[in-house]
Structures are given as C-alpha cells and as structure tokens.
Amino acid sequence: MSTKPRQTKPELEHDYSRPTELGYEAPDEVGLIRCLSHGFPTPLARWHYHDEYELHLITATTGKAFVGDWIGQFQPGHLVLTGPRLPHNWVSVDVPEGGVPQRDLVIQFRHEPIEQGSQQIPELRELLPLLERARHGIEFFSLQQQATEHWQRIKGLQGLARFAAFCEFMVELGRCTDFRLLSSARLQGEDNDAQLDQINAILMRITERLSEPVSATELAAELDMSESRFSRFFRRATGNTFTDFVNHVRVNRACQLLMESDRFITHIAYEVGFNNMANFNRRFLDIKGMTPSEYRRQVDKRFGLKT
C-alpha cells in the first residue's frame, strides 16, 4: 500500500503571493514597513517563511504556535518577533463556525535598509541587538495593549511619520526585559574580536561534529585555559554552561531531523551525540517540554491540517 510522503518543508512567501484582497497593503503605498491584518481561517495561515522580519500579535482564539523548532501554546496577546527566513505558523483550535474576522496584527520589514542605514545614522544601531535576537524568535509578554496601540498608529500613518512610529515601537521592544527566546541556544557576543573568534571556533566544532564526544577539559587545554576559566568564558559568551549548551545544540539538531525526515528516533539520538536513549529522552523532555515521539506527532500540525 502506498502512502503519501510527509510534508516537511515550509513554503517560501513571495511578494506576488501578497494580494491586497487578503489584507496586504499595496506595494506602491508602503515603504520599509508593511502592516497586515487578517482573520482566521485564511490562506495566509500556513507553515511558511519569508525574507522579512515579522512582528506578530494574536488578538483572538487559542491554539498551537510553531516558530522554527519551537512548539508552544498561544492565546490573545501572544506577541512574537521572527527573523528573516525563520519558519512559523499559528494554528487556532477554538474557531467558531464562520471563523473570526481578526486574529492577527502583523508588521513586516526588511533587514538590509536598517543595517545599511545604521552605518550612516548611529541612532539606528540601537535596533541591531533586537534584530539579532529575533533571528531565533522572541516572545514578549504583557504587551498586548501597547502592541495593539502601536500597530494601529503605524497602520494609520505614511512616510516618515510611519517610520518614526515604527522606531518608537522597536525601541520599546528593544528595552523590554520580559521576553524569552524561542530557540534554545544563542551567541550573545564577546568582549573583543579575538575572544569572539575563539568562541566561534568552539561553537563550530560542537555543531559540525555533534556525534563526537567533546569535553570542557579538552577545549580548555586547547585554549591554554584552566577549566574554571574556560567555564566562565563560555558562560559569558553563550549564556549557558558548556554541558547545557551542548545538550541544547544536540536537541535542536534532533528537532530538525524529527521535522524533516522519517528516520527512527533511536538513529537520530545517536547521530546527534547521545550515547543512550534514556539520556536523550530525558534531555529532550527537559529542553522541549515533550518527548521526541510527541514532538514528531506535533510537528505535522505546523501545516494547519487535521491529523
């Protein structure tokens, strides 16, 4: 009996697939900042990615959110900033008959104009750390009212006034401390270029040879550091202990393989560097809040299909 292959890849969203009848602003009416409002269900709600950052506020319904390899619950007030080409989808589970007229308030914008502008306009550099974090997805908390007001104001303006209102919103998000990154591991930056090169070399070694054993003792010796100094250095650079970071990287790679392949879970566990299934299952549950089997069952819901 033949079976239909699992769909595993997100859809790339192009400008030509953004008609005004679905809620998009006409291209000749906007500049850097595009506002979008839509209800649910809609063809726009699907597992997809695009070249823009997207600030996404949910205003109605509850359900499952999928951002990269992260799976979580959402409800009204759920506010997430996703980076370029980070796949995402929000799947509502309590939609009344006939749907809801408004579920999503969205702002999209590109990276290049801000980065290039920051080279000539120092004030724009304040946005860059926020945008770097957004590449892993950022969920902000307790900002529903402010986010709604900011969106409505930006939507109602054009030209330089819209850009100014957008910057005001970004400054507020950049200074917000009540947030979480939806990716488990991130590089926070280091004190100078030499140290940054060192930590990048370490991270490259970890990520490119996941199946090989690696120890803090070995890496400390290679950098001519004591193990305690290496531990402080690594935690300052990544925000994690060495062991936690390695586990996060391995579990994230396992998530990718669970999402994009039908390989046996046992094979995946050994491929990403866990030498026994009990340890893999325990670490996966600690980091993702569910077992690898449950994670694989959940990922098909990215596409908004009933399974």
Q: Determine contact, residues 140/179, Cβ cutoff 8 Å.
A: yes
Q: Is 246 helix (H, G, I), strand (E, B) or coil?
A: helix
User: pTM of the predicted model, to two decimals?
Assistant: 0.71
Torsion angle, alpha carbons of 55, 71, 234, 198, to 10: -70
* pLDDT value for 261: 87
Q: List, in order of start, the domains of the chain with CATH numbers.
A: 11-181 (2.60.120.10), 193-303 (1.10.10.60)
What letter represents residue 102's amino acid? Q
* pLDDT value for 83: 93
- Residue 255 to residue 8: CA distance in whole angstroms: 12
pLDDT averaged per 10 residues, the chain (length 307): 52 83 85 95 89 97 87 93 91 92 97 96 95 93 96 97 97 94 54 62 75 86 88 77 87 87 93 94 93 90 64
What letter represents residue 218's amino acid? E
